[in-house]
Amino acid sequence: MMIKWIFRLILITLLAAVLHYNLPHRDIVRITDTYEKRVDPGANSWFWSSGDAGSATGTPNRDVFFIQTTDANGNPRVYRNEDTGFGWPPYFKFNTSNLQARAADLISKADDQTPQWVAVTHYGWRNELLSIFPNAAKVKPVDGPDVQLIPWFNIVFLIVFAAVFWAVWVRWVRFRRAKIDPTTERISDWFAEKWDRMRGRG
């Protein structure tokens, strides 16, 4: 029983990690710089896109756009800016260059009296050890660092996902009780009968 619960906990943890990585998140930040950098994906290549749409695939390195920002607490946040194309996750992002130009236009200068705050929609994680960055999907100006943004897409997606999962689970339990459990019991009874006969109890 303990092994079964450990297995379930591992599956739930993996599912939560996949959803957290792929679902969109929004950060309220100030853009401080945009730049382009040559990247050679290695062991962390799973966390990088396969290249901009229309570019050759399988190349050992490529130029990647980055957006450098700072949040309201002064913490730096850096995003990569890559196309997802028709790959995974299905953001169908093809506007990397346009997004980079948009981000450059929204840069807040150090001497600005009223800094420009933006909401950066992104997916993925930032990990300095693995040198991975979240991928920016959208940049939108907002009124200030305290603006409240409701993640409607995530709410609707998780509700639909939970409903589909529950429907599949209920049908699977019914099928197992109606078909699999009786068959398993018959097989178990047959082996028990054969074993009793072999021991001279039949």
Query: 134-163, pLDDT tens digit by residue?
Result: 999 999 999 999 999 999 999 999 999 999
d(CA 118, CA 144): 8
Average pLDDT over residues 57-73: 85
Range of the domain at 81: 24-149
119 and 94 in one domain? Answer: yes
d(CA 163, CA 161): 5
- Global pTM value: 0.81
- SS3 of residue 138 by DSSP: strand
101 and 89 in one domain? Answer: yes
193 and 125 in one domain? Answer: no
104 and 51 in one domain? Answer: yes
143 and 47 in one domain? Answer: yes
In a domain, 115, yes or no: yes
35 and 92 in one domain? Answer: yes
Domain end call among 106, 122, 149: 149
In a domain, 125, yes or no: yes
How many other β-carbons are positioned within 10 Å of the β-carbon of residue 15?
A: 12
Q: Which two three-digit tokens encode residue 22?
A: 């792929």
Partners of 152 in the beta sheet? none
33 and 108 in one domain? Answer: yes
Are the C-beta atoms of residues 157 and 20 closer than 8 Å to each other?
Answer: no
79 and 47 in one domain? Answer: yes
Domains in the chain, number: 2
Are the C-beta atoms of residues 28 and 71 closer than 8 Å to each other?
Answer: yes
Per-residue pLDDT of 94-148, as tens digits, reads 999 999 999 999 998 756 678 899 999 999 999 999 899 999 999 999 999 999 9
In a domain, 18, yes or no: no
